[in-house]
Amino acid sequence: MIRGIYTGIMGMLIDMATMDTISNNLANVDTIGFKKDTPVFKTYLKENIYMMDRKYHPVKPVKFLGSLEQATILDEVRPSMTQGAVFNTGNQTDFAIDGEGFFVLRSPDGNIFYSRAGNFKVDEQNNLIDENGNFVLDNEGNIIRWNEEYTVDENGWVYNKNGERLFRLWIVEFPDPNKLEKYGYSLFTRTEESGVPVESFDSKVLQGFLESSNVNALNEMVRMISAMRHFEIAQRVVTTEDQLLDKVINNVGNVRG
């Protein structure tokens, strides 16, 4: 019975973690370049199951049947890198990536970030920056100095008003982008599991467009309802197990008396 209480509580904790990720996803349904969070769970406290069988082994009369996982816990929260819908803004400093690439950004203190959010703007020194003040880099690692007459083709090359090619936006890909670590709402940092970024030549850059969040509000609401119902069921399991345990204890006490 105590194990039943523990199992029910584990189920409630899983549902709470699921609700947290769903709430964060719904809160960022309109955040440009946001990638929804997906909780990943793992089992632990495995117990091996055996069956008595003297024919199976004359010395050790047991037969291994398998293992039973007694509990599940939250292992990690991974970003889902599916592409969000792309929409037209007409703004010359808005960019969307069609493909698996990421923009490369550098913070004022030198940290490197990667992002799908291309809602850039120009600061007082004509530097192209994101909404957090991070500098947008070209493929040589230089801060981009922006001119309102610049145009960008699908390959990320930037041209002046005379059609002269100047530089290329730094667009990179990762061997496993799902292993990137989220920093804030729309920034990512590389990890050992994500691999080393390489310049992307397959992704298309769309000037005057933005990529919206990949959160589907309807799907998230359905997941929320499911998690709430599962939480209620697990809660009833804990209550029932507690009542049964109370009866057992009281009955044993009465018998001894």
Same-domain check for residues 71 and 105: no
Asked if residue 197 has pLDDT above 90, the reply is yes
**pLDDT for the residue 179:** 92
Asked if residue 163 has pLDDT above 80, the reply is yes
Same-domain check for residues 98 and 182: yes
DSSP for residue 58: S
Give the confidence band of 57 by pLDDT, cuts at 50, 70, 90: low
**pLDDT for the residue 51:** 63
Q: Between 78 and 144, whose confidence is greater? A: 144
Torsion on CA atoms 14, 190, 186, 168, rounded to nearest 10: -160
pLDDT, mean of residues 154-167: 95
Task: State pLDDT tens for residues 93-127.
Answer: 999 999 999 999 999 999 999 999 999 999 999 99
Same-domain check for residues 119 and 137: yes
Same-domain check for residues 245 and 228: yes
Q: Domain range for residue 205?
A: 86-211
**pLDDT for the residue 62:** 65
Out of 61-70, 170-179, 198-207, pick the least confident: 61-70
Same-domain check for residues 122 and 204: yes
Here the tokens at position 107 are 């913070």
Residue-averaged pLDDT of the chain: 87
What residues contact residue 156 under an 8 Å CB cut-off, 6+ apart? 139, 168, 169, 171, 203, 205
pTM reported for the whole predicted model? 0.78
**CA 33-96-145 angle, 5° bins:** 105
Tell me the one-letter amino acid at 119.
N
d(CA 95, CA 22): 27
Asked if 4 and 241 touch (Cβ cutoff 8 Å), the reply is yes
Task: State pLDDT tens for residues 231-244.
Answer: 888 888 888 877 77
d(CA 169, CA 207): 11
Same-domain check for residues 194 and 133: yes
Asked if residue 47 has pLDDT above 80, the reply is no
pLDDT, mean of residues 190-203: 94
Last residue of a domain, one of 194, 211, 228: 211
What is the number of domains present in the chain? 2
Same-domain check for residues 190 and 96: yes
**pLDDT for the residue 9:** 77
pLDDT, mean of residues 224-234: 88
**pLDDT for the residue 13:** 84
Handedness of CA 151, 153, 154, 157 (dihedral sign): negative
Same-domain check for residues 174 and 206: yes
Residue of 102, 127, 130, 108 whose CA lies nearest to 189 = 102
Same-domain check for residues 106 and 39: no
Same-domain check for residues 165 and 64: no
Residue of 157, 160, 120 whose CA lies nearest to 136 = 120
Same-domain check for residues 176 and 251: no
